[in-house]
Structure 1
Amino acid sequence: MKATWNNQTIAESDDTIVVENNHYFPIESVKSEFLKESDTHSVCPWKGTASYYSLEVEGKANKDAAWYYPHPKEAAKNIAGYVAFWKGVEVK
């Protein structure tokens, strides 16, 4: 699987985990130079509290376009260390 935005590959892996139709990429497969920590958080009843990254690629920003669960609940422990994308990031 490959995640792209603004004509750049953000992540690429053969080891994604699909949860609720979202591909979660292992953090080591994500190009960290495009990630900027965000102060945004959201809560999922069964996965826990999500944290977000904004993407910055060639001078363009995509706020909160990636999310991850730093301390997932037991039911979602398999996505610890994984990142998912949305907001125009193409995953195929």
Structure 2
Amino acid sequence: METTLYKSHKYDELCSVDRKNALKPYLIKYGAEKDYSLNNLRKGCILIGIDYSKFVFYYTDLSPRNIIVKDTPKTSTIGVIDWELAGYFLRG
């Protein structure tokens, strides 16, 4: 997946890197329907008193298995894969 990071690395909504619904089950009432829409996640934040006004870009799955290093003399390349869990999340 090709990703464009904005200079500010900020966005005004909780969402995945592709600007779709973010998988955040802790923001949904226990036992309720698994509705990860932006409106439902916003309601969950308000319900539990989380500040829903500041978001930052965050890659949530950074680990050695998601970093690829091509060790070529003078032109080594490093890549990061599996961006499906990245997105704009609430600033802590």
- TM interval, shorter chain, is under 0.3
Report which of the two has the higher share of helix.
2
Name the TM-score, length of structure 1 as normaliser.
0.24
Greater Rg over alpha carbons, structure: 2
Task: Indicate the structure with greater strand content.
Answer: 1
Larger RCO: 1 or 2 (CA < 8 Å, sep 6+) = 2
